[in-house]
Structure 1
Amino acid sequence: MRIIAKSRLKTYWETPGNEKSQPYLNEWYHFCSKQIWRTPQEIKNMIRNVSFVSNDRVVFNVKGNDYRVICAMDYPRQAMFIKFVGTHKEYDRVQAGEVE
């Protein structure tokens, strides 16, 4: 998968207080960038704790449940668009299906 807007990850981990997230978000990025997912079920078969929400959005749990990454998926183009990066607490304050 092509992951669009890695800069969102970088902006997040460069924010004071979020530095510890960098190795985990990098690991998530490299893992996902090597995948070929054609359907939500293919993701679920590989990552059991992934969640699916409206508008082709996928919520990935990173480092257990410490961080969340919301992506809009475009399976035919093999693209993932990062829409949100944050802690579990920050995630609770957004609408996963609508966040841009």
Structure 2
Amino acid sequence: MRVIAHRTLQAFWRQHPQAEQPLKAWYDEARKASWQTPADIKAHYRSASFVGNSRVVFNIKGNDYRLIVAVAYRVGIVYVKFIGTHAQYDAVDAATVDIN
């Protein structure tokens, strides 16, 4: 998959260094993946949540952080829409949030 907004992930882990390795691991796995359906994601990430609008929520670092992406399965692109702490995640609508 092609992951759009890698710089957003980098900026986040600069502010939250403990998130760096888990986010790098997720990014590497996502880049190597070829997700065709939500079931493909769920097979690898059991805790992934699907919230509508092609959005997937990933728990990062034991659920300390939440990553929301939009997946365009047909073209193989993953768009980072949000990365934040669990508290920040609770304040957004996962189906509509977007990076400014």
TM-score, with normalisation over the residues of structure 2? 0.93
How many percent identity over aligned positions? 45
Aligned length: 98
TM-score, with normalisation over the residues of structure 1? 0.93
In structure 1, list runs of 5 or more residues that go unmatched: none
Deviations along 1:23-81, one digit per CA (max 9) or x if unpaired, are 11111111111111000011112211000012100001111211111001100010000
Q: CA RMSD in A?
A: 0.8
Query: 2:35 and 2:29 mapped to 1: Cα distance?
Result: 12
SS for the counterpart of 2:39 is helix
1:19 CA displacement: 1.7
Query: 1:64 and 1:39 mapped to 2: Cα distance?
Result: 24
Matched AA of 1:7? R
- Alignment check: 8 A CA contact 2:57 2:67 kept: yes
Query: 2:50 and 2:96 mapped to 1: Cα distance?
Result: 13
In structure 2, list runs of 5 or more residues that go unmatched: none
Determine whether 1:9 maps to 2:18: no
